[in-house]
Structure 1
Amino acid sequence: MRNLIFLRLATRNLRLIPITALAIMGYVTAANVAYGQQDVVRIAAIVNDEIISGFDLENRVRLVATSTNSSKSPAALRRLAPQVLRQMIDERIQLQEAKKLNVRVSSREINGTIANLERQSGLRPGQIWTVLRSNNVDRSALEYQIRAKISWLKLVNRRIRRQISVGQEEINEEIARLKSLQGKPRLQVQEIFLSVDSPDLEQQIRQTADRLVSQILNGANFDALAREFSQSTTAGRGGRLGWITDSEIDQELATALSVMQPGQVSRPIRTLTGYYILFLANRRAGNSGNVNDLSVKYRQMTAPVTSGAPQSEIEAQRQLAIKVASNANSCDELLQQARQVGARDMEAIYEVAVADLTPWQRKYLLSNDIGQASPPTRTPNGFLIIMPCERTQQAAGIPSAKALEERMTRERLELMAQKYMRDLRRSAYIDLRQ
């Protein structure tokens, strides 16, 4: 069965899964009932004044097992539950903070995210619910997870984004640093990071890391596990560090990678701050002009379809989108035609590194000629078209100044958001029920 690509949100991507009070680690394993036979009204945890029920936890564990292609045996689900409960507690804290600050998420935003998940996973509209039902997952588990992610993204952008600035001098220093690495062997690496915030948690965190490695070796999807559980700023990108040199990472990690072969996963690696799990995707001797060193500028437009529109209106907008896609031969022409037909989302030109494109974007932004539009794709908001405007090969794989500014801003935003979350967690009342 296809792996579902859960929750790749905008901004490449604010995905924050910090460690919660890890006394939870013994939680479900201490239960003496078979997983799946729990009382649905059992309380798994209380977060401030809100309950996470046994039903909520079981449902979410099955969702994570489905999305990561993990085993769904009772024993495997029991082992997965402590990790999932930590995440659910964090989400409950995030939603409580969002509610306090009057941050709302609309049904339209949730449905739009679900449509993106289906498109990225190669599913037809609505097919995601069939997949979840076949795996005994209630749709509320996914909808709740999406609501929490969007709420947190909005909250962080509102409270933190304005505090962050990246100066030209910093960008120039980063360009100089990247140039100094030209010609060196490079490694394509993904990571999962689990922080050890207290010596008392050392054994519990190590056990969690061992379980994750076991799940990966038994077929679980590394990308999905990184998105679900990693505390690194790379979590939203499936743990992807991109092409790096060994001088850009901790010595302990470089040493482990030096004896690994492409396709191998490391055992948990202890560093000063916590445990890392590494996946070595590839090696290359110096920079070789790999396609992932390209950046792409593109424009998109949406021919809008109102909620509950009759089939005649939907078909009319589809034909309109087909006409625009056929007639526009450049990004400027796409903008002009989109304006004429009242389309949406077409003003901006986006610039994205190829390594950060979704599979659906890569299909058209790399394969299509410059100025060649994609076929219209149905979304909850209408029919979406994308068109590549320019593809740029950066010298020796060095991103543009604008791309570096965006990356550095995103990384700082994620780090400050992690601190924000740690502060919220410290002040929260969390009661774990055995």
Structure 2
Amino acid sequence: MKRSLTAFLALVTTLFGGAVHAQQVEGIAALVNDYPITTIDVRNRMRLIIVSSGVQPSEQDLLRIQQEALRSLIEETLQIQAALEYDVEVEPAEIDAAIANIAVQNNADPSQIANELAASGVDISTLRRQLEAEIAWQIIVSGVYSNRIRISNEQIEATLERVAATAAQPQYRIAEIFIEIPLSADDSQAQQRAIAVMTQLSQGAPFQSVAQQFSDAPSAANGGDIGWMLEGQMRPEVVQIARILQPGQLSRPFRVPGGLMIIALIDRRESSATLQYQLIQATLPASRINDESREDFADAVSRIRSCAGIDAALAGVDGAFSSNLGDVSHDALQADIADRLSSLGEGENTGLLDTSAGLQVYFVCDRTIGGPGVPSPDDIERQLRNQQLSLLARQWLRNLRRDATIEIR
């Protein structure tokens, strides 16, 4: 007799520890553009999620896991269908490499992964299908959108300025789980997914494994680990939460643009980043200062828009000269000068300073940050590009699901 999907999946709790019985009847859980997702597919994906978490779910947990398994299978089917449309074929060696990467993350080897899955009644093909969809989707998203993304120098500079402003703040190593809320939907489904995530984590499931199965962020492939971050690289909402967490602690779900996020603070360290300025100093010696020269010097300084124009502007001021100070650390400067420089950008100056040497002005020709964990301009560009690519990928997948014919049975 054919069982309903709900009744069939209710058996997962008792069947979890053993192999699949031959007499179980395969049914259709959903049709995605006429492609069937079977009840066997759903059960196997549920088993994969459960095995990955390492916890024994309650009956209520199973319902949430069932919903997550079906949702992910529908999205993966859409991704594979898109790959076929673009003639993208994932080679078995690429899937093997992905499994090897998972093994490394879990201090194991690929054969151990396959054996552990088999011992829990999960065929390795279940994991391979999931990885095939992920790899294919990455290929087509990159192929379709990479050349359309333009990261301007202004965007990079703005991010570097935020990083510079927080260079002295602690650095955080964070793992994330992002749960998307579609623009056209309420947040009830996302809230249910967040509950499923928090339930598994509270029962001791490894954050890395839960992120790999539930997170909608690109970092899911790395178990949610996004590495060391400065506050200037992070969303303001994430910074606010990270500041109050202790290493090893986990946040509750919180809202960010586009969805819900859960973070784990892996570690925190004091920043050893240093802010460096490339400076030129303009001086009107004390012996040459009078009312007229002071006015001329101030007028010349007001006309300077870049370091390249300093000498030309000072040429008409009797006795004035410039000195290239090269790279100077923020910490090596006098406190009053450092304070004036801290908010300045390239080409800007401190204004006139009365010193024992006379009238002086410091021009910022460049400012950079150095030290462990500090991103380079290339790193910033890569981060901004990946953020845009991720956003476009999620929008595309939403559109595929909206336009698809999906029948859930």
Normalised by the shorter chain, which TM-score bucket?
0.5 to 0.7
Match of 1:229 among 189, 214, 228: 214
* SS of alignment partner, residue 46 of structure 1: strand
**Is 1:64 the counterpart of 2:49 in the alignment?**
yes
* SS of alignment partner, residue 12 of structure 2: coil
Shift of 1:41: 1.0
Match of 1:161 among 146, 157, 166: 146
Change (3 A) 1:161 1:257: closer
Q: Tell me, yes or no, if the aligned pair for 2:229 and 2:373 is still in contact at 8 Å.
A: no
Q: Tell me, yes or no, if the aligned pair for 2:247 and 2:268 is still in contact at 8 Å.
A: yes
Name the TM-score, length of structure 1 as normaliser. Answer: 0.62
- Larger mean Cα displacement after TM superposition, 219-228 or 197-206: 197-206
Q: Tell me, yes or no, if the aligned pair for 2:141 and 2:393 is still in contact at 8 Å.
A: yes
Distance 1:272 1:154 in 2: 26
**Long gaps (5+) in structure 1:** 1-26, 290-392
Shift of 1:214: 1.4
**Aligned pairs, how many?**
302
- Pairing 1:169-184 to 2, within 5 Å after superposition: 169-184=154-169
Partner of 1:405: 381
- Write the deviation string for residues 294-352 of structure 1: whole angstroms up to 9, x where unpaired: xxxxxxxxxxxxxxxxxxxxxxxxxxxxxxxxxxxxxxxxxxxxxxxxxxxxxxxxxxx
Q: Tell me, yes or no, if the aligned pair for 1:28 and 1:81 is still in contact at 8 Å.
A: no
Q: Tell me, yes or no, if the aligned pair for 2:146 and 2:389 is still in contact at 8 Å.
A: yes
Distance 1:220 1:213 in 2: 9
Change (3 A) 1:254 1:118: closer
Task: State the identity as a percent.
Answer: 32
Match of 1:277 among 254, 259, 262: 262
Distance 1:79 1:394 in 2: 46
Q: Tell me, yes or no, if the aligned pair for 2:61 and 2:196 is still in contact at 8 Å.
A: no
Distance 1:122 1:255 in 2: 33
Amino acid at match of 2:265: L
Q: Tell me, yes or no, if the aligned pair for 2:176 and 2:262 is still in contact at 8 Å.
A: yes
Shift of 1:113: 2.7
Amino acid at match of 1:249: R
Partner of 1:35: 12
- Larger mean Cα displacement after TM superposition, 421-430 or 104-113: 104-113
Shift of 1:168: 3.6
**Is 1:136 the counterpart of 2:121 in the alignment?**
yes
- Write the deviation string for residues 141-170 of structure 1: whole angstroms up to 9, x where unpaired: 012112112211221122112212334443
Shift of 1:55: 0.7
Distance 1:102 1:41 in 2: 30
Change (3 A) 1:72 1:412: same
* SS of alignment partner, residue 122 of structure 2: coil
- Write the deviation string for residues 334-392 of structure 1: whole angstroms up to 9, x where unpaired: xxxxxxxxxxxxxxxxxxxxxxxxxxxxxxxxxxxxxxxxxxxxxxxxxxxxxxxxxxx
Q: Tell me, yes or no, if the aligned pair for 1:223 and 1:238 is still in contact at 8 Å.
A: yes
**Long gaps (5+) in structure 2:** 274-368
Q: Tell me, yes or no, if the aligned pair for 1:104 and 1:151 is still in contact at 8 Å.
A: yes
Partner of 1:243: 229
- Pairing 1:110-125 to 2, within 5 Å after superposition: 110-125=95-110
Partner of 2:83: 98
Shift of 1:191: 2.3
- Pairing 1:369-408 to 2, within 5 Å after superposition: 394-395=370-371, 397-408=373-384
Larger CA Rg, structure 1 vs 2? 2
Shift of 1:99: 0.8
Amino acid at match of 1:407: Q
Partner of 2:251: 266
Q: Tell me, yes or no, if the aligned pair for 1:35 and 1:74 is still in contact at 8 Å.
A: no
Distance 2:233 2:161 in 1: 15
Distance 2:120 2:220 in 1: 25
CA RMSD of aligned residues (A): 3.0
**Higher RCO by CA contacts (8 Å cutoff, separation 6 or greater):** 1
Shift of 1:70: 3.4
Partner of 2:356: none
* SS of alignment partner, residue 160 of structure 1: helix
